[in-house]
Every structure is written in structure tokens, then in C-alpha cells.
Amino acid sequence: MPKEKTASGRKAELLEKLNAVVPTQEQLTWQSVGFWILLNYSHSPEKPIKAARLAKICKSSGAGGVVLSIRDHITRQAVAEALQNIGLPCMEYIPEWARHIGNTRGHARSAEWSVVPTELENPADWDIGSRKAIQKALKAGKEIAWLPCYMPVSNRPSFEYIAKEDMYAHPLAQLLDNYYDSVGKNASLILNVPLNPEGQPAEQDVTTLLHLGAQLTIDFKEDLAQDSGISATQSLDTAHRPENVLLSEGDVYWHSGAFTKPVELVLDLGDDYDVNKCVLMEHSPTGQQIERFSLHYETPKGKWQLLKEGTTVGYKRILKFHEKRMRRLKLIITESRGFATLDSWQCY
């Protein structure tokens, strides 16, 4: 009879299977865009639409790309060329490997995993990627894969254009919540923008989109972590030192090495600054590992005070908190799938 595996053996086998699942370059590119505008247009216009204006609105909204749900081929081609002229990527459909979050209300999971079962009984289930959920799926004979999540929401009550809904366009505050609850939680935001018969968003929608772009520019105007000092309680080697998370160029990142106990990284901004958000990014090409973490800041009395606690990081995690004056921050990674990595740590 084959020898029964020990608990540690089963754990090691599960981690090996999880860490073998990594994204393709196409999936990484999709996740790097983060915020997509979906132009929804089902009309056949009597005359060419103002494609250049439409492209400019999309870029000014802060979106990193555009999905063209445009039925008329000539119109779709014109908009694609206009987007190309201003350097905004576009596609005609959402990739089949991208995973719907399971709702259109703009609510993300507190733990959003990119490694999930390829078959889900209910895409809206709260836990689909934890070790327990993956173990259950594997035991049932299901496969797992890298299936990055997207959150589809509309900027008005309906996904199609309805003139009487012009006065009910969603306010800026709601769109910002949608952004932080998707892009800020390891998901992509697909913001549906229905176009009127002339092939343009309603003026109310244009105003809100422009305000959204302006607010995102303000929110992420200056990374206070640039040129800061940083240390870690452990690193894989000198090529994967903690300073790499502050570098914006090159394929360098911090790697913890074998994860046997909580790992701490301390960031010193060099002076006191008012901070209300941090952005963490794992090194996705090596998979998604971080399972639980906490973020702290040092008070004027030299004590560490908790700012935020979280589970997954993934491609991007934006941690918002009440603005506080601080110089030093500490990130404690308490649980991980074998090791931990960070591509970037930013403060705003």
C-alpha cells in the first residue's frame, strides 16, 4: 500500500501546485492596464462620429485602455485608429481567460486571487482562491489556472444608452469607489460608457469622466517613497534586495527567500509627510503568494501603530487610510505561499 502523506507533505504538494501557476505575458499586459473604458454603441450612424473627441475623453478619464463594443465596423475602425493615434491600447472583446468577478455592483472580495479553479460552481462565491478552496477543487478533480479578475460596472443605471437616464449618471464618488474597489484589490475595472445615437457619451457622463481622470491624477501625483530608505528582515540574495521595490525601471524586485516566519520591511521616507494611501504590487511573473499582511506607521513617540490589515496583494493593492503625518512605515507579511515578493511599494 502507498504510504499516506503527512500534513506537511500535503501542504508542500499544494504549494508546489499553486506556485507552478503563473501568468502569460498577455495576461500581465491586461492586468497592467487596470482600468478599461468599455464603449458601448449599437447604432449605425448616418454620418461619421467624432472619433478623435471620443478617444480624447477616454484618455482624459484616466483609463489605461478601451474595449470597443461597437457594432458598426466602420465606426469601430475609426475609433480604434483615433485611440492608436494617442497611444491608448484597445481591444474588441474581453479576453476569454479574464474572470468575471460575479457581480455588477462594484464590490470586490477582500481576498482576490488570480489562481483559481477553472470551473466555479458560483463565480460570486466569497472564497474561491484560498488554500482550502483550492484543495477542495483539486480533490474534486478540477484544474487550477491563472484567471485574472475584472469588475464590470456602468457609469449609469443601464448598460445601454437611455436618454432619460442622462440625469442619473453615477457621481464621481461612486466611480472612485469602483476604481479603488477593483484596481485597488487585484482586479481590473471595466467601466461601461454607453454612447448616444451620435456616437458620443452624454455631456453629464463626459463631465464625470473628466473629473474622474483629474482626481486620479491628484491622488497619485507624487510618490513619496521615491528616494527613500528601506530594509527587510530577510531577502533571497543581493540581487533581490528590498531597495528594488523603489526602482521604477528594470525587471528587479524583492524576494524574501524561503518563508518560514513573518517578514518585515521598513520604509523610511526621510522626512515627515502627510500620507493617506500606499500601493503594493507583487512580482506577478513568479505568481501570487502573499496571503496576509499588516501595515503600520511609527508615531512621534516611536511606537508602531496599525494602519491597515489585508489578505491578498496580487498585481496591485491600494491601501487607503485616514491621512496621518509619518516618516517610517512597516509592512509585516505574516502568511505566504512558500515565499513573498514585491515589485513596488508607493506612498501618496
Burial of 228 (0-12, 13-18, 19+ CB in 10 A): buried
Whether residue 37 is predicted with pLDDT greater than 80 in this model: the reply is: yes
pTM for this structure? Answer: 0.94
Q: What percent of the chain has pLDDT over 90?
A: 91
Cell numbers at 47, concatenated: 454620418
Residue type, 287: G
| pLDDT-derived band at 191, boundaries 50, 70, 90 | very high
- pLDDT score for 2: 54
- pLDDT average, residue stretch 105-114: 89
Residue type, 210: L
- Taking every pair of Cα atoms in the chain, the longest distance, rounded to a whole number of angstroms, is 76
Please count the other Cβ atoms lying within 10 Å of the Cβ belonging to residue 229.
Answer: 14
User: What mean pLDDT is reported for the chain?
Assistant: 95
215 Cβ neighbours under 8 A, 6+ residues apart: 172, 176
Give the C-alpha separation, 230 to 264, whole Å: 10
pLDDT digit string (tens) for 146-187?
A: 999 999 999 999 999 999 999 999 999 999 999 999 999 999
Domains of the chain: 12-219 (3.20.20.80), 229-347 (2.60.120.260)
pLDDT digit string (tens) for 217-269?
A: 999 999 999 999 999 999 999 999 999 999 987 789 999 999 999 999 999 99
Give the C-alpha separation, 248 to 282, whole Å: 14
CA 156 remoteness from chain centre: 22
- pLDDT average, residue stretch 263-284: 98
More confident of the two residues 277 and 7: 277
pLDDT digit string (tens) for 322-333?
A: 999 999 999 999
- pLDDT score for 3: 58
